[in-house]
Chains A and B, each alone.
Chain A
Amino acid sequence: MSDKDDSETPVLTEAVPILEDGNCEPAKNSESVDQNAKPESKSEPIASTRKRPEAKPSSDLETSEVLPVPVSQAPGKETVSKDVPQTGWGYWGSWGKSLLSSASATVATVGQGISTVIEKAETSLGIPSPSEVSTEQYAAGEINTKDNENSSPMAGPFGVFSTISTAVQSTGKSVISGGLDALEFIGKKTMDVIAEGDPGFKRTKGLMNRNSTLSQVLREAKEKEELRTSDEVTMETEKKTHYGLLFDEFQGLSHLEALEMLSRESEIKVKSILNSLSGEELETLKLELQQLKEAFSLAEFCEEEEEEKIGDEDFTKEITELFSQLHVSSKPEKLAKARNTAHEWIRTSLTKPFTEQEEGEKLLEAENNEQVNKNSIEDIHAFAIRSLAELTACSIELFHKTAALVLHGRKQEVTAIERSRTLSQMTVVLCKELSSLSKEFTTCLTTAGVKEKADVLNPLITAVFLEASNSASYIQDAFQLLLPVLEISLIENKTESPQHELQSQRPLSEQ
């Protein structure tokens, strides 16, 4: 029985180990990536003890890309005025913008083939030119974001696509066979966004209103994709870049489900406690819970006023600092490692531009040396999607662990409200990180793909932005799942009788 098996190392490791050894000591590899990649990363280092970001004029950076404040998201937030351009979902609205601009870029390229068709269609259908359409739709998107119920910015371009393709189909298929693929690509992505209930542009409310949870939605999407990809042998590459599959591979789905479970249980407990109370007691508690809720909505507002001053070195520091403020024993090392690996990869690929290597002189790092030539943009794309999935999975794992520790950890001298504030800050830091990461990845793509046609390059860029936007939404949704957990923690701390009802029941010993 005790004979050694030498073949212990798994041969068929299905999920790549989440922690890659080696090339990523946190906080080491973190000079800013490249001038053209991240102009904003050069800004001043952040004071890691800072509890709140200072308000700062938001006009310097990507403000131009940013949508106005969605009013509906700011009930009674005096810190936010309606005309501050970069706040709340406006921040994420910039994703929509990015997507839209690449989308319209693609339309423009495709238009080489189909412009005549479209022109014909325009005259017959009375629709404006593609560029006009996209700007108009974008403008419409801006307005629509304000009530992020059923009018996502995506609804705009999607409408355009369908109009175009209808026109196209009725006018002549042969002309545009090449162009349609590109449209189909974005169209399909768009469809996914809508069909999979992706909150990227719809936000949590819409998502949670339906009777399915985020993890269900994601799981279904993943399973659908598994079915689809198993169908075609040649799909290996596509699989490598499928966000849902990768997210699951990094155990993101499992952690999300686990978090949902804790969230649901807590919610039920909170409700039953509220039902058991009355009079003044109930009112006091309600007030406190309201404060907690406010701490949860704070993230999207105050934090957004902060420009991206998180330099490369500071992410690890900041996230670690925030974690220590939480007073849970979980550590964000895994997350920091994943993030630093991604940044290291980007830096390597930017310092040695792919174009110089087309003649195959020098290979990059071991991890991306396989196809430096033609497939390099696919490599970047695959790595980008993989990194986004990994970072998101790690973030959700952290939230899950935090929930478990808040509920069952040792008692700490930190209030639920303080924790909520820290968590919302953390959410913002994570989302910003995803944002800047995706920008860097697209810089890589643009650099590597200078010789590529736009209809090859743009869909990849679009996909990176889209998945980054999705990632940010998942993280924000996961964050919201923490609210009931913090609520029950607040109630339990108040009553000084933590509900470790199990301790008395369970006879099992513990070391």
Chain B
Amino acid sequence: MEAIWLYQFRLIVIGDSTVGKSCLIRRFTEGRFAQVSDPTVGVDFFSRLVEIEPGKRIKLQIWDTAGQERFRSITRAYYRNSVGGLLLFDITNRRSFQNVHEWLEETKVHVQPYQIVFVLVGHKCDLDTQRQVTRHEAEKLAAAYGMKYIETSARDAINVEKAFTDLTRDIYELVKRGEITIQEGWEGVKSGFVPNVVHSSEEVVKSERRCLC
């Protein structure tokens, strides 16, 4: 288990209930698909390392939020400390697509003064025959908000990896260019651990003592 990473990003996954947020995350972090899953209570937590370039790893902390209205006050508290987000809708559920707008408004209010880099995700793309939202209109909406659009399926493992890594790469670019910076009191981006660079005081003390022997 190699646990050394350059940065840690916190990502939040939002969208109406039953669009498949938890399944998408589980596919990404655990590599499998759960046929049945209970609705998320409040918020859940996952993490995974991704390698964006050879040798460059980012640790993703993924916050899975409940889509259900009744937990909204809980999930809201998590926007602020996220650097990126996946906004999901279900391509077979027009309503969930129409609500994308509301979700963006909601986050805008609660993320201040920070910003979240969002990607719009049309989920359940394996169910193409039941499609209620065309790719074209989804792309249009995404473009209007300056987001990328991607269609995924947790069941058939389509684009799941890509959705997360593309978002991670985009954020990484922004961090590299200094448009997103690590800030005290903000958990969105944290620097990681690089070997042989940091010495904690404890370590120093220890080695000194060893020298005496």
Contact with A along B114-128 (1 / 0, CB 8 A): 000000000001001
Give Cα A249 to B59, complex, Å.
Answer: 12
Residue numbers in A under 8 Å from B170 (CB-CB): none
**One of B41, B46, B106, B159 near A401 (C-beta < 8 A):** B41
Q: By the criterion CB–CB under 8 Å, are B41 and A405 in contact?
A: yes
Residue numbers in A under 8 Å from B186 (CB-CB): none
**Nearest opposing residue in chain A for B42, CB measure:** A404
**Chain B contact residues: over half helix, strand or loop, or mixed?**
mixed
Residue numbers in B under 8 Å from A506 (CB-CB): 69, 72, 106
Q: By the criterion CB–CB under 8 Å, are A12 and B43 in contact?
A: no
Q: By the criterion CB–CB under 8 Å, are A511 and B16 in contact?
A: yes
Q: In the complex, which of the residues B18, B27, B38, B213 has the most CB atoms of chain A within 10 Å of its own CB atom?
A: B213
Tell me, yes or no, whether B198 is within 8 Å of chain A by CB.
yes
Q: By the criterion CB–CB under 8 Å, are B27 and A8 in contact?
A: yes
The smallest beta-carbon distance between A169 and chain B, in angstroms, is 9
Give Cα A178 to B29, complex, Å.
Answer: 44
The smallest beta-carbon distance between A393 and chain B, in angstroms, is 10
**Nearest opposing residue in chain B for A180, CB measure:** B213
Q: By the criterion CB–CB under 8 Å, are B213 and A173 in contact?
A: yes
**Contact flag A408-B31 (CB < 8 Å), given A12-B51, A12-B57:** no
**One of A3, A8, A226, A231 near B160 (C-beta < 8 A):** A8
Residues from 13 to 50 in A contacting B, C-beta threshold 8 Å: 13-17
Tell me, yes or no, whether A56 is within 8 Å of chain B by CB.
no
**Nearest opposing residue in chain A for B60, CB measure:** A14
The smallest beta-carbon distance between A232 and chain B, in angstroms, is 8
Q: By the criterion CB–CB under 8 Å, are A508 and B47 in contact?
A: no
Residues from 389 to 426 in A contacting B, C-beta threshold 8 Å: 400-401, 404-405, 407-409
Q: By the criterion CB–CB under 8 Å, are B46 and A251 in contact?
A: yes
Residue numbers in A under 8 Å from B140 (CB-CB): none
**One of B71, B159, B161, B200 near A228 (C-beta < 8 A):** B200
Residue numbers in B under 8 Å from A5 (CB-CB): 157-162
Contact with A along B146-172 (1 / 0, CB 8 A): 000011010011111110000000000
How many B residues have CB within 8 A of the partner chain?
65
Q: By the criterion CB–CB under 8 Å, are B150 and A13 in contact?
A: no
Q: By the criterion CB–CB under 8 Å, are B57 and A511 in contact?
A: no
The smallest beta-carbon distance between B104 and chain A, in angstroms, is 11
Q: By the criterion CB–CB under 8 Å, are B198 and A251 in contact?
A: no
Tell me, yes or no, whether B179 is within 8 Å of chain A by CB.
no
**Contact flag A227-B193 (CB < 8 Å), given A4-B158, A8-B157, A509-B95:** yes
**Contact flag A329-B41 (CB < 8 Å), given A14-B3, A230-B194:** yes
**Contact flag A13-B29 (CB < 8 Å), given A4-B158, A173-B213, A228-B202:** yes
Tell me, yes or no, whether A456 is within 8 Å of chain B by CB.
no
**One of A7, A173, A174, A502 near B73 (C-beta < 8 A):** A502
Give Cα A251 to B61, complex, Å.
Answer: 10
**Nearest opposing residue in chain A for B125, CB measure:** A2
**Contact flag A230-B47 (CB < 8 Å), given A7-B161, A17-B29, A502-B72:** no
Q: By the criterion CB–CB under 8 Å, are A508 and B99 in contact?
A: yes
The smallest beta-carbon distance between B161 and chain A, in angstroms, is 5
Q: By the criterion CB–CB under 8 Å, are A503 and B77 in contact?
A: no
Q: By the criterion CB–CB under 8 Å, are B158 and A2 in contact?
A: yes
Q: By the criterion CB–CB under 8 Å, are A231 and B200 in contact?
A: yes
Q: By the criterion CB–CB under 8 Å, are A408 and B70 in contact?
A: yes
Q: In the complex, which of the residues A231, A254, A407 has the most CB atoms of chain B within 10 Å of its own CB atom?
A: A231
A interface residue count range (under 10 / 10 to 19 / 20 to 34 / 35 or more): 35 or more
**Nearest opposing residue in chain B for A251, CB measure:** B45
Give Cα A404 to B77, complex, Å.
Answer: 13
Residue numbers in A under 8 Å from B49 (CB-CB): 12-14
The smallest beta-carbon distance between A430 and chain B, in angstroms, is 19
The smallest beta-carbon distance between B63 and chain A, in angstroms, is 8
Give Cα A228 to B46, complex, Å.
Answer: 24
Give Cα A180 to B143, complex, Å.
Answer: 65
Residue numbers in B under 8 Å from A502 (CB-CB): 69, 72-73
Tell me, yes or no, whether A217 is within 8 Å of chain B by CB.
no
**Contact flag A1-B150 (CB < 8 Å), given A251-B47, A401-B41, A503-B69:** yes
Give Cα A359 to B89, complex, Å.
Answer: 58
Q: By the criterion CB–CB under 8 Å, are A511 and B46 in contact?
A: no
The smallest beta-carbon distance between B22 and chain A, in angstroms, is 13
Tell me, yes or no, whether A284 is within 8 Å of chain B by CB.
no
Residues from 79 to 116 in A contacting B, C-beta threshold 8 Å: none
Contact with B along A240-261 (1 / 0, CB 8 A): 1000010001010011001001
Q: By the criterion CB–CB under 8 Å, are B95 and A14 in contact?
A: no
**Nearest opposing residue in chain B for A228, CB measure:** B200
Q: By the criterion CB–CB under 8 Å, are B59 and A10 in contact?
A: no
Q: By the criterion CB–CB under 8 Å, are A14 and B48 in contact?
A: yes
**Nearest opposing residue in chain B for A169, CB measure:** B212
Q: In the complex, which of the residues B27, B71, B160 has the most CB atoms of chain A within 10 Å of its own CB atom?
A: B71
Q: By the criterion CB–CB under 8 Å, are A4 and B202 in contact?
A: no
Give Cα A249 to B1, complex, Å.
Answer: 12
**Contact flag A224-B1 (CB < 8 Å), given A8-B157, A510-B17:** no
The smallest beta-carbon distance between A372 and chain B, in angstroms, is 21
**Contact flag A329-B38 (CB < 8 Å), given A12-B50, A404-B71:** yes
**One of A2, A17, A400 near B159 (C-beta < 8 A):** A2
Residue numbers in B under 8 Å from A13 (CB-CB): 29-31, 48-49
Residues from 354 to 412 in A contacting B, C-beta threshold 8 Å: 400-401, 404-405, 407-409
The smallest beta-carbon distance between A413 and chain B, in angstroms, is 18
Q: By the criterion CB–CB under 8 Å, are B158 and A408 in contact?
A: no
Contact with A along B2-37 (1 / 0, CB 8 A): 111000000000001110000000011111000000
**One of A2, A7, A10, A255 near B48 (C-beta < 8 A):** A10
**One of A3, A7, A17, A224 near B202 (C-beta < 8 A):** A224
Q: By the criterion CB–CB under 8 Å, are A15 and B102 in contact?
A: no
Tell me, yes or no, whether B185 is within 8 Å of chain A by CB.
no
A-B contact pairs, 12 of them (CB 8 A): A4-B158, A230-B194, A231-B198, A251-B46, A408-B71, A500-B70, A502-B73, A508-B102, A509-B16, A510-B16, A510-B68, A511-B17
> Which residues of A line the B interface, CB within 8 A?
1-5, 7-17, 173-174, 177, 180, 224, 226-228, 230-231, 233, 236, 239-240, 245, 249, 251, 254-255, 258, 261-262, 329-331, 400-401, 404-405, 407-409, 500-503, 506-511
**16 other A-B residue contacts (CB within 8 Å) besides A10-B48, A405-B42:** A1-B159, A10-B161, A13-B30, A14-B47, A17-B30, A174-B213, A224-B200, A227-B193, A231-B200, A245-B3, A249-B47, A408-B74, A503-B70, A509-B99, A510-B68, A511-B16
